[in-house]
């Protein structure tokens, strides 16, 4: 069964007023049916956005967490805190966190584990750099990241995990992977998860594409058999573009 998801990663953007306005528009675009729609604002906006989306189909996610549940870790936020404020999801291991904040496969695994333990659904991000793509090691890099993030989990854990493949060279650059290139990587990731946890798990796990998803390329991307929606940065800040992306996912049949 294919689950389509469109997630908006607002990154370090917006304040209360603009967030309320945008979230209100997203509630309208999400409507009564279609893909799962997820908004991931900054920590400070979680409460505000939670109030706007209450009673709608839109779900709330955070952009990061820390793996400890409490204690002397100034400035950190735990999975329990995210759950408490209304989150159902959390993005883990985004390439910007790996690049600027030193996150590794090991920290991604610990964070994923703490999210699962608390009952949050982790959206685990993987993806290669431009150099890695050019030297032909994309598949090996992504394979290593998927292995590193998911090893030691049990098959039942996997039913609550979402994967996002985001080639770093495509993030915020306007350069989207072609639907065929993205499909190849998604298929490889699904196969790898199948080898690790069995085909029932790999058939059901949503694998999102991220990296310059826009209203005008979402349909071609989402029509690929192994692309189950998108993790959207820039275009999620524009209500109209995000609505087009939701509509593109809505046109995809839910089952396989």
Binding site for ligand PGA (CB under 6 A): 9, 166, 171-172, 210-213, 231-235
Q: CB 17 → ligand PGA: shortest distance, Å? A: 22
* DSSP one-letter string for 15-48: -HHHHHHHHHHHHHHH-SSSSEEEEE--GGGHHH
2 neighbors 226 (Cβ within 8 angstroms): no
Residue with smaller CB distance to ligand PGA, 186 or 197: 186
Question: How many CB atoms sit inside 10 A of residue 174's CB?
Answer: 9
Q: CB 221 → ligand PGA: shortest distance, Å? A: 11
Residue with smaller CB distance to ligand PGA, 162 or 213: 213
Q: CB 209 → ligand PGA: shortest distance, Å? A: 9
Residue with smaller CB distance to ligand PGA, 116 or 232: 232
d(CA 124, CA 18): 27
Q: CB 169 → ligand PGA: shortest distance, Å? A: 10
d(CA 170, CA 241): 18
Q: What are phi and psi of 23, to 5 degrees?
A: -60, -35
Residue with smaller CB distance to ligand PGA, 69 or 173: 173
Structure tokens that stand for 247 in this block: 């509509």
Rounded alpha-carbon distances, angstroms, from residue 37 to 30, 81, 101, 148:
7, 22, 27, 28
Catalytic residue among 36, 94, 103, 128: 94
d(CA 256, CA 252): 10
Report how many helices (DSSP H) and strands (DSSP E) the chain contains, helices first.
12, 8
Q: CB 233 → ligand PGA: shortest distance, Å? A: 2
Catalytic residue among 36, 96, 128, 166: 166
Question: Closest residue (Cβ) to ligand PGA?
Answer: 233
186 is catalytic: no
Put residue 154 in one of left, alpha, beta given phi > 0 → left and psi -120 to 50 → alpha: beta
d(CA 48, CA 11): 16
Residue with smaller CB distance to ligand PGA, 35 or 201: 35
Residue with smaller CB distance to ligand PGA, 34 or 233: 233
Q: CB 216 → ligand PGA: shortest distance, Å? A: 13
151 is catalytic: no
Q: What residues are annotated to the active site?
A: 94, 166
């Amino acid at each position: 069964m294919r689950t389509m998801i469109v997630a908006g990663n607002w990154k370090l953007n917006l304040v209360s007023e603009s967030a309320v306005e945008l979230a209100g528009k997203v509630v309208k675009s999400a409507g009564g049916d279609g893909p799962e729609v997820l908004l991931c604002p900054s920590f400070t906006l979680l409460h505000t956005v939670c109030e706007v989306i209450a009673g709608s189909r839109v779900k709330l996610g955070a952009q990061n967490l820390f793996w400890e549940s409490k204690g002397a870790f100034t400035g950190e936020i735990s999975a329990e805190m995210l759950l408490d404020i209304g989150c159902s999801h959390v993005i883990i291991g985004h390439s910007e966190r790996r690049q600027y904040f030193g996150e590794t496969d090991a920290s991604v695994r610990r964070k994923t584990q703490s999210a699962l333990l608390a009952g949050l659904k982790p959206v685990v991000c993987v993806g290669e750099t431009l150099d890695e793509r050019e030297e032909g090691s994309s598949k090996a890099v992504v394979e290593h990241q998927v292995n590193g993030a998911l090893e030691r989990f049990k098959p039942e854990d996997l039913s609550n995990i979402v994967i996002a493949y985001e080639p770093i060279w495509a993030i915020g650059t306007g350069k989207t992977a072609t639907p065929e290139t993205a499909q190849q990587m998604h298929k490889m990731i699904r196969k790898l998860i199948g080898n690790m946890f069995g085909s029932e798990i790999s058939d059901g796990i949503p694998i999102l594409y991220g990296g310059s998803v826009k209203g005008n390329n979402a349909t071609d991307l989402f029509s690929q058999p192994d692309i189950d929606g998108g993790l959207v940065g820039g275009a999620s800040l524009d209500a109209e573009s995000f609505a087009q992306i939701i509509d593109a996912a809505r046109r995809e049949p839910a089952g396989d």
